Amino acid sequence: MNRSKFFHSLILFLFSVISLRAQSPDKTALPQEPISGIIALFDQTPIIAIGETHEHKQLYEFLTELVQTEDFYTQVNDVLIESGNALYQQTLDRYISGHTVPLADLQQVWLNTTQSPVDPWGNEVYFNFLKTIRELNQRIKPEHQIRVVAADPPIEWNKVRTPEDYRQARGSRNTFYSQTVINEVLKNGRKALLICGGAHFGYQNPRQSLINQRIEKEYPNSVTVVLAASGLGSANQAHESRLSHWNRPTLVKLKDTWIGELPGLRRRVRTAPAAVPLSDSIATHTPAVIQSSAQTASSRKQDFSDYLLYFGTPDEIVYGEVDAQMYLSDLFWQEMNRRSRIRFNHDLLPETRKTGSLRPVSYND
Q: Over the stretch 173-210, which tens digit does the pLDDT of each residue have?
A: 999 999 999 999 999 999 999 999 999 999 989 999 99
pLDDT at 361: 87
pLDDT at 35: 98
Query: What CA–CA distance (Å, rounded) separates 312 from 353?
Result: 31
- Domain for residue 158, yes or no? yes
Q: pLDDT tens digit string along 124-155? A: 999 999 999 999 999 999 999 999 999 999 99
Beta strands in 95-142 (DSSP E): none
pLDDT at 266: 53
pLDDT at 233: 86
Q: What pTM does this model have?
A: 0.85
pLDDT at 229: 84
- Domain for residue 9, yes or no? no
- Domain for residue 10, yes or no? no
For residue 314, give the nearest of 191, 212, 231 by alpha carbon. Answer: 231
pLDDT at 262: 94
Is the per-residue pLDDT at 355 higher than 50?
Answer: yes
Return the bridge partners of 147, or none: 78
pLDDT at 230: 81
How confident is the model over 270-288, as a mean pLDDT?
Answer: 35
Task: Give the HSE-up count for residue 45: Cα atoms under 13 Å, Cβ half-sphere.
Answer: 19
How confident is the model over 265-288, as a mean pLDDT?
Answer: 38
> Cis before residue 117, ω within 30 degrees of 0?
yes
Q: pLDDT tens digit string along 83-97? A: 999 999 999 999 999
- Domain for residue 191, yes or no? yes
pLDDT at 96: 98
Is the per-residue pLDDT at 3 higher than 50?
Answer: no
Burial of 187 (0-12, 13-18, 19+ CB in 10 A): exposed
Is the per-residue pLDDT at 297 higher than 50?
Answer: no
- Domain for residue 245, yes or no? yes
pLDDT at 25: 55
pLDDT at 323: 87
Average pLDDT, the chain: 87
pLDDT at 292: 38
- Domain for residue 363, yes or no? no
Domain count, the chain: 1
- Domain for residue 361, yes or no? no
Query: What CA–CA distance (Å, rounded) separates 135 from 133?
Result: 5
Expressed as residue numbers, the domain containing 85 is 29-353
Pairing of strands 223-229, 47-52: parallel
Measured at the alpha carbon of residue 269, what is the angle toward residues 181 and 262, in degrees to the nearest 5? 80
Percent of the chain's residues with pLDDT above 70? 83
Q: pLDDT tens digit string along 6-28? A: 344 434 334 333 333 433 456 99
Rg for the chain (alpha carbons), in Å? 23
Is the per-residue pLDDT at 70 higher than 60?
Answer: yes
**How sure is the predictor about 267, in pLDDT bands with cuts at 50, 70 and 90?**
very low
Q: pLDDT tens digit string along 224-245? A: 999 998 889 888 988 999 999 9
- Domain for residue 170, yes or no? yes
